Amino acid sequence: MKKLKILFENNQLWVKSKMEKDPEYFIKTAKDQLPNYLWIGCSDARVPANEIVGLEPGELFVHRNVANLFPHTDFNCLSVLEFAVDILKTEHVIVCGHYNCGGVKAAMEDHQLGLVDNWLRNIRDVYATNRQELDQIENLGMRYNRLVELNVLQQVKNICHTTIVQDAWRRKQPLTVHGWMYDLESGKLRDLGYNLSSIEEVDPIYRIQRVKP
Ligand code: CO
């Protein structure tokens, strides 16, 4: 049986380097996690959440899937969000997309890839909603990268439409949902300037509240 020796060797080196700086490092980290941020990013191997923002283990709660989607019926996404907001009390939820996202590109093409096409249908919906703007961009590369941005904005909205976020806002818990982009070629992050932190910023059709008994 082939074992992945190199990864265990890397692990040993990593443990050693952490322990050299702080012999108590793992004892402290094992105690609890106190992340103030939830990161929802793409599974793409070139977008390593913690590394990009320079955060240590315990500082960033992470959920990654193909094309950083947050479909409102996905129990995986909803469970992560609920735990982050209700239990960990994270103050920031960050949806981070990245230019040249393969998932978004696949959603612009007309051939089947498999099961993932059903997942990427969410991005086709984003295209359909923004068809007028997108069809006007003649350069295909630019159109594709704009769709990556619009997809991030839609996922920010989807998160803000959940009962989880709206309940948190109604009980005055500080919580902001951010839309960011990561550029693979420069390594830089960009804030799309779409940061929602109150129910008033949500389209009224999506505002819902508990009925008092
Ligand atoms: Co991607």
The domains of the chain are located at: 36-202
Ligand 1 centroid, distance to 68 Cα (angstroms):
7
Ligand 1 centroid, distance to 110 Cα (angstroms):
18
Residue 3 confidence (pLDDT): 86
Q: At what angle do helices 116-129 and 140-160 cross, to 10 degrees?
A: 100
Active site residues: 42, 44, 46, 98, 101
User: What amino acid occupies position 184?
Assistant: L
Ligand 1 centroid, distance to 193 Cα (angstroms):
20
Measured distance CA(12)–CA(24) in Å, rounded: 16
What b-and-e string marks burial along 103-123, b requiring 16 or more CB atoms within 10 Å of the CB? bbbbbeeeeeeeeeeebbebb
Ligand 1 centroid, distance to 149 Cα (angstroms):
12
Percent of the chain whose pLDDT exceeds 90:
92
Q: pTM of the entire structure?
A: 0.95
pLDDT digits (tens, 9 = 90+) for 84-116: 999 999 999 999 999 999 999 999 888 999 999
Residue 179: which of 203, 162, 154, 161 has the closest Cα?
154
CATH class, range 36-202: alpha beta
Residue 211 confidence (pLDDT): 84
Give yes or no for residue 160 having a pLDDT over 80.
yes
